[in-house]
Amino acid sequence: MRSVAVAVGAGAAALAAAVATRGGRTRLPRLPLRTLCGANATKEVIDPPPPKKIKVALCQLAVTDDKQRNIATARTAIDEAAGAGADLVVLPEMWNCPYSNDSFPTYAEEVGGSIPERCDGRLYNTCFVYGRDGRLLGRHRKVHLFDIDIPGKITFKESLTLTPGEGLTVVDTEVGRLGIGICYDIRFPEMAQLYAARGVQLIVYPGAFNMTTGPAHWELLQKARAVDNQLFVATCSPARSEGPGYIAWGHSTAVGPFAEILGTADEKAGIVYCEMDFGQLAERRANMPLRHQKRSDLYALMDLTR
Ligand SMILES: NC(=O)CCC(=O)C(=O)O
């Protein structure tokens, strides 16, 4: 196996069997992120690691109410993607369980690499990043919980069962520097901006948008995060299931720094493959030097996680 897996859910053992890599460094900052103006704002930009070309696999999985079956489906998809030469394999948000507050406590696990994650009596929506050797490189707990109410369309309150994470997650892997967000996290541009300032080359968002906000915002937000920050963005959704309960929009997608769609799925289960050339980032940033043109005398991002 050659792949690094970025995954939300399922047992570490299942994934460890399916992935392999050399080292990596994990930072799990504890403090919240805020934007402030003026003298306290940071201008620091951290250079990214040397650019690489990587092959990415977005596994849009059919998720059922049978956890073992979901793990088996994920294992098969990871095997297939690794066999196809993927360097990075991405799994959907909450891929080991139906997306519902009823399911989160039932499907939660207490030990490594499961989602929903149970820790010290709390539940989190957590994305785990594994290396090729199955080593856990990083863990992102969803920072912005999905609490929305659009009457007659979609009402969801993750905070009924879940606790928000307390940090942002940048992970140095063999394939490059990754920033991790989960679904609703994509709506908060400051988070992506801070990842860009830390030299992240690709932000990965496992996500499960719905049938109201999906068609309206899913692609738009990915393009916005990519273009604003001149980096790559990848999302991975569960496949759409038309049963009762939450219906995921699907459409797992990869976007380049010029808003180009590198690969995308429809609503059905399947794997999307695409190439990402991180070398393009320097060129895009030279063509349009946004980060040097920012008016940090008027506004800037303050990094409170340091
Ligand atoms: N699982 C989620 O966080 C869903 C987010 C979503 O649908 C949105 O519109 O935002």
Question: Which residue's CA lies nearest to atom 3 of ligand 1?
Answer: 184
Tokens at 70, concatenated:
């979901």
Residue 194: CB atoms within 10 Å: 24
* H-helix or E-strand spanning residue 186: none
CB of 2 within 6 A of ligand 1: the answer is: no
Judged against a pLDDT cut of 70, whether residue 3 lies above it is answered with no
Q: For 252-281, how does the pLDDT look when each residue is reduced to its tens digit (9 = 90+)? A: 999 999 999 999 999 999 999 999 999 999
Q: For 187-211, how does the pLDDT look when each residue is reduced to its tens digit (9 = 90+)? A: 999 999 999 999 999 999 999 999 9
Ligand 1 atom closest to 208 (CA): 1
Return mean pLDDT, the chain. 85
CB of 187 within 6 A of ligand 1: the answer is: yes
Q: How far is the CA of 292 from the centre of ligand 1 (A)?
A: 32
Ligand 1 atom closest to 207 (CA): 1
Our mutation pick for probing the ligand 1 site, out of 63, 115, 145, 146, counting the most ligand atoms within 8 A of Cβ, is: 146
Q: What is the mean pLDDT of residues 88-104?
A: 95
CA distance 83 to 269: 18
- Give the residue carrying structure tokens 């994934």: 15
CA distance 179 to 170: 5
Our mutation pick for probing the ligand 1 site, out of 162, 213, 219, 236, counting the most ligand atoms within 8 A of Cβ, is: 213
Backbone angles phi, psi at 210, to 5 degrees: -120, -175
- Give the residue carrying structure tokens 């050399």: 22
Q: What is the pTM of this model?
A: 0.87
Judged against a pLDDT cut of 70, whether residue 100 lies above it is answered with yes
